[in-house]
Amino acid sequence: MSPSLYEAIQEERAKYPPESRSAVLPALRLAQDEYGWLSPDVLREVADALELTPAYCHSIASFYNQFHLAPIGEHLVEVCTNVSCAVVGAQQVVEAFEEVGEALDLTPAYCKAVASFYDMFHLEPVGRHVVEICTNVSCALVGAQQVVETYEEELGIRPGETSEDGLMTLRTIECAGGCGTAVVVSVDGRYVEPVQPNDVPGIVEGVRSGD
């Protein structure tokens, strides 16, 4: 048994009522943090430290899906698929990770790590049109915030949100590489520049009428 794990479990156990079963969840969490997953040997360590049976520890660990009873990857991607996430496309997110991973012989975790690093990838459903406003230094100095606020008024949404009709998603982005013609707005990847607040209603109308 790992002495440090045994001691950590005893320390945790002291915070709970005397019945050792009351500390089984934090003990399992400590064990998983140490070993990465809960193998039968690790469950036995937890059981010994709490004077419980391995079967009892297994029954608790198998009930909660935050415990891993099999080895997992270096990174763990968990997609919530419960009701609220399911109705806005959780299953499609799961399938997209599976598809990219299979095509390149990579793990979904690796694909998620790369996708989440770059601003240009959407990890949640977006509207039919994506409006992105650069709010980095050059654009900020010449009124990016006012442009953002005008979009918010026109669309009734805030950055990161999609209009109720699913037509437009509003986002703010880092430097778009058009500092000389700030403020830069990208509509579906096509730059409109420079943009001032009074240009916004016309740009929105153009997107609506072209849809």
Interaction of residue 134 with ligand FES, rule CB under 6 A: yes
Q: Which spans in 36-172 are helix H?
A: 40-50, 54-63, 83-87, 90-104, 108-117, 137-141, 144-155
Query: Least separation, in Å, of the C-beta of 171 and ligand FES?
Result: 13
Question: Which region, judged by CB under 6 A, interacts with ligand FES, from 16-24, 113-121, 134-142, 202-210?
Answer: 134-142
Query: Can you give the C-alpha Rg of the chain in angstroms?
Result: 25
Residue 179 engages ligand FES in binding (rule: CB under 6 A):
yes
* Residue 90 binds ligand FES (CB under 6 A): no
The amino acid at residue 98 is E
Task: Choose one: 5-13, 16-24, 99-107, 129-137; the region binding ligand FES (CB under 6 A).
Answer: 129-137
Rounded Cα–Cα distance for residues 85 and 13 (Å): 36
Among 151, 172, 178, 186, binds ligand FES (CB under 6 A): 178
Chain position carrying tokens 């934090």 = 26
Quickly count helices (H) and strands (E) in the chain. Answer: 10, 4
| Cβ at position 149, least distance to ligand FES in Å | 17
Q: Which is nearer to ligand FES, 54 or 143 (CB)?
A: 143
Whether the Cβ atoms of residue 127 and residue 162 lie closer than 8 Å to each other = yes
Q: Are 112 and 100 in contact (CB under 8 A)?
A: no
Q: Which stretch binds ligand FES (CB under 6 A): 4-12, 102-110, 150-158, 170-178?
A: 170-178
Q: Which residues bind ligand FES (CB under 6 A)?
A: 134, 136-139, 175-179, 182, 184
